[in-house]
Chains A and B, each alone.
Chain A
Amino acid sequence: MSSTFVDSAADFDVRDYLRMDMMPHFLCPGCGHGIALRALLWAMHELGIAKDQLAVVSGIGCAGRLSAYIDANTFHVTHGRPLAYATGLALARPDLHVVVITGDGDCLAIGGNHLIHACRRNLKLTCLMLNNEIYGMTGGQVSPTTSETMLTSTTPLGNSEPSFDACALAAAAGAGFVGREVTRHVPRLKELIKAGLAHPGFAFVEVLSDCTEIFGRKNDLGSSPEMMLRQKSDIRPSAYRDSVDTPFRANELPTGILAQTNRPEYGAAYRRAAAAQRASAAAQAGSANAKEDS
């Protein structure tokens, strides 16, 4: 066993949570998605979530492929729909921890309708959106989060559409927990995901992840270290959390926990209402029987 593999973080060894027989993984050198995956598994470890109790539902894309590497109950579903699959799974199995891994295209373009309704519904789910500003899997086309002027394989003139602020969108749609972090700050990312996993309702976590091989190359952003430094210069700390009021602000995004409210969780509320209805029906039947007896 090579010592370079061993994690510096005390008792956490990422290999305990990975399907090691799936290695080597398919991510490109410098891709931020692996860092996000590690942060998720680390958060899970610190919260003591058992692998058997974890269900990961992922969409289609580079981000979507991550589920196959996690040693848990993993479901790689259709493009844009992981939140909808997860809604059924979490409603049917409230005993499981259901985590969705999705990309910016998966979550905000084809899956955008499911995102806003998942936020509104507030079912207990953790949605991890890995935002690399591009459709990585299909070769680098423009995505709803591509910053203005950036080059992609379908914006040869530079992107002229404004980009989505996914956190502002999630907060506006009513998500109980909204946060954003960069892959540059792994411990902070881990803490944010932990807070999301612990949140009793729908938690939306956006991870700003770098696509070095396609987005970086196309836009001359250097390799992984340079792109990491770019994260530092472009992203403002959460002290400036004004993004809800000004949703379309390319490249200037607050990080940290951006919204947290305690709305009733959908699944529990539904089951409570159903139980109350059953109880009152039983009481009614009981009094009807009593009448018949008398």
Chain B
Amino acid sequence: MNAVDKALLPRLALRLISGNHACALAAVAAGCRFFAGYPITPSSEIAERLSRLLPEVDGVFVQMEDEIASIAAVIGASMGGVKALTATSGPGFSLKQENIGYAAGAEIPCVIVNVMRGGPSTGMPTRPAQGDIMQSRWGSHGDYPIIVLAPASVREIYSETLRAFDLAETCRTPVVLLYDQVIAQLTETVELVAAEGIRAERKWASGAREAYQPYASDGGAIPAMSRPGAGYRVHTTGLNHAENGFPTQDPETVARNLGRLLGKFEHHRDAIDSWQAIGCEDAEVVIVAIGISARAATRAIELARAGGLRLGLFRPITLWPFPEDALRAAAKHARAVLVPEMNAGQLSLEVERILGSKRVHAIHRYNGEPITPAEIAARAAAVLKEKAT
């Protein structure tokens, strides 16, 4: 048992906590020792919790002057070798995008929580939404890889936060935890698990300085990092760089290095991909949803099945890269696919890309009210009826 688990022990095992609280506890359990943030509803509880938890474990909490500074400080701390987290919502997530791109390109591990609220702009700060599905994947400029995890319960926020820190290290990447306001502030029972065995430590460079190339890698496509002070004295930049870390515009070198970066997750899909499929084997309609909409869908399946309509649910837990093979398999026999989401059409675009648009239907809601189980069940029935006529 590590020091963190011990520190948590009096409060360990089953606890009734909010999603944001679970995120803070899991971060500490995962080895996070640095948080920088800027207050914004509905994510602030994460910062407030960590401002108390981190000093207990010799970590650092700092409230920065804005969200840009927060993500920058987080990347800076990680470059120093410390696992780091920032948490924000809507407008703050927009502000972080340029530097998320830096972390992706320079391959600096870090975790970013984005609690989705109504948008665009200031939107509806205290109402849920799922409008940042595309932004979480494509929000920064240029081509870059990123991992986005979409937990749908307080318990899953706990486990996915642990996994986020592990993936950030093993894949040398920023990882976004994307969940909506309902899950963030929902209070549920969580079994806190000791973090031993799931904690991934950073792959540090070893061997002679002369032989070390900060962006050269083995077959796994993830280069080892060097710890400042360990004698490697490398250069890190947001410019396109060669294997040695220095800027280059040589077309071949850029294509080779960017190609490795863009393809690096393919070597680690087993660890990255995660989804839940309920009742998809015999489902007439497969629902694809995340977060609070997926929870409504779970209930909708029960309602519909009680009435003789066979519904199933495919829920990507890793949202990006999208587990597309798993979706294809889950939706193979379904006559229709229904995507309920709290935005004007984002997840449905990806589902249409994978399955073709013919079978794909959607419920798009952006008024701050969650989609109900009854609405999903009714829409699924209507979709089947349309098919039959």
Minimum CB–CB distance from B45 to chain A (whole Å) comes to 20
Does the CB pair B69–A87 fall under 8 Å? yes
Does the CB pair A96–B80 fall under 8 Å? yes
Q: Does A78 contact B (CB under 8 A)?
A: yes
Bound CA span A114–B78, Å: 19
Q: Does A154 contact B (CB under 8 A)?
A: no
Bound CA span A281–B3, Å: 14
A85 touching B229 in the complex, CB below 8 Å, given contacts A68-B237, A92-B34:
no
Residue numbers in A under 8 Å from B33 (CB-CB): 92
Bound CA span A86–B76, Å: 6
State which of A4-12, A47-55, A138-146, A210-218 sits at the interface with chain B: A47-55
Q: Does A248 contact B (CB under 8 A)?
A: no
Does the CB pair B81–A92 fall under 8 Å? yes
Does the CB pair A95–B55 fall under 8 Å? no
Q: Does A67 contact B (CB under 8 A)?
A: yes
Chain B proximity mask over A248-277: 1 for CB below 8 Å, otherwise 0 = 000000000000000000010010011001
Does the CB pair B73–A84 fall under 8 Å? yes
Q: Does B231 contact A (CB under 8 A)?
A: yes
Closest residue to B236 on the A side, CB-wise?
A: A75
Q: Does A194 contact B (CB under 8 A)?
A: no
Minimum CB–CB distance from B172 to chain A (whole Å) comes to 16
Which of A53, A92, A117 makes the CB contact (< 8 A) with B64?
Answer: A117
Does the CB pair A68–B235 fall under 8 Å? yes
Does the CB pair A91–B237 fall under 8 Å? no
Which of B64, B233, B238 makes the CB contact (< 8 A) with A76?
Answer: B238
Residues of B within 8 A of A (CB): 33-34, 36, 55-56, 58, 60, 62, 64-66, 68-70, 72-82, 84, 98-99, 102, 228-239, 246-247
Does the CB pair A53–B235 fall under 8 Å? no
Main secondary structure of the interface of B (DSSP, over half): mixed
Residue numbers in B under 8 Å from A52 (CB-CB): 228-231, 233
Residue numbers in B under 8 Å from A85 (CB-CB): 72-73, 75-76, 79
Does the CB pair A73–B229 fall under 8 Å? yes
17 extra A-B contacts, CB within 8 A, seeds A81-B68, A93-B81: A52-B230, A68-B237, A73-B228, A76-B237, A78-B98, A78-B99, A84-B69, A84-B70, A87-B73, A88-B80, A88-B84, A89-B228, A91-B60, A92-B78, A270-B60, A274-B55, A277-B55
Closest residue to A81 on the B side, CB-wise?
A: B72
Bound CA span A92–B56, Å: 15
Does the CB pair A114–B80 fall under 8 Å? no
Q: Does A72 contact B (CB under 8 A)?
A: yes
Closest residue to B58 on the A side, CB-wise?
A: A274
Minimum CB–CB distance from B214 to chain A (whole Å) comes to 11
Bound CA span A6–B134, Å: 57
Residue numbers in B under 8 Å from A53 (CB-CB): 229
Q: Does A278 contact B (CB under 8 A)?
A: yes
Does the CB pair B239–A76 fall under 8 Å? yes
Does the CB pair B58–A77 fall under 8 Å? no
Closest residue to A60 on the B side, CB-wise?
A: B238
Q: Does A195 contact B (CB under 8 A)?
A: no
Bound CA span A68–B238, Å: 12
Bound CA span A86–B72, Å: 8
Minimum CB–CB distance from A231 to chain B (whole Å) comes to 31
Question: Top 5 nearest A-B pairs by Cβ distance?
Answer: A88-B76, A88-B73, A274-B55, A84-B72, A92-B77
Q: Does A57 contact B (CB under 8 A)?
A: yes
Interface residues of A in 87-120 (CB under 8 A from B): 87-93, 95-96, 113-114, 117
Does the CB pair B102–A77 fall under 8 Å? yes
Closest residue to B76 on the A side, CB-wise?
A: A88
Q: Does A22 contact B (CB under 8 A)?
A: yes
Does the CB pair B66–A113 fall under 8 Å? yes
Q: Does A191 contact B (CB under 8 A)?
A: no
Residue numbers in A under 8 Å from B102 (CB-CB): 77-78
A91 touching B62 in the complex, CB below 8 Å, given contacts A68-B237, A77-B72, A78-B99:
yes
Would you give 9 A-B contacts (Cβ < 8 Å), ordered by A?
A: A68-B247, A73-B228, A75-B236, A78-B72, A87-B72, A113-B66, A114-B69, A270-B55, A278-B58
Residue numbers in B under 8 Å from A270 (CB-CB): 55, 60, 62
Q: Does A161 contact B (CB under 8 A)?
A: no
Q: Does A13 contact B (CB under 8 A)?
A: no
Minimum CB–CB distance from A215 to chain B (whole Å) comes to 24
Residue numbers in B under 8 Å from A68 (CB-CB): 235, 237, 246-247
Does the CB pair A75–B79 fall under 8 Å? yes
Bound CA span A19–B80, Å: 21
- Among B34, B77, B235, chain A packs the most CB atoms within 10 A around the CB of B235
A84 touching B68 in the complex, CB below 8 Å, given contacts A78-B98, A89-B76:
yes
A281 touching B81 in the complex, CB below 8 Å, given contacts A76-B235, A81-B99, A88-B75:
no
Minimum CB–CB distance from A251 to chain B (whole Å) comes to 31
Bound CA span A52–B239, Å: 23
Bound CA span A179–B68, Å: 27
Residue numbers in A under 8 Å from B36 (CB-CB): 87-88
Residue numbers in B under 8 Å from A267 (CB-CB): 60
Residue numbers in B under 8 Å from A84 (CB-CB): 64, 68-70, 72-73, 76
A91 touching B73 in the complex, CB below 8 Å, given contacts A22-B246, A113-B65:
yes
Residue numbers in A under 8 Å from B60 (CB-CB): 91-92, 267, 270
Does the CB pair B65–A114 fall under 8 Å? yes
Minimum CB–CB distance from B195 to chain A (whole Å) comes to 20
Minimum CB–CB distance from A124 to chain B (whole Å) comes to 14
Residue numbers in A under 8 Å from B84 (CB-CB): 88, 92
Does the CB pair A278–B55 fall under 8 Å? yes
Interface residues of A in 188-204 (CB under 8 A from B): none
Residue numbers in A under 8 Å from B74 (CB-CB): 88
Bound CA span A91–B58, Å: 12
Does the CB pair A273–B55 fall under 8 Å? yes
Bound CA span A88–B62, Å: 9
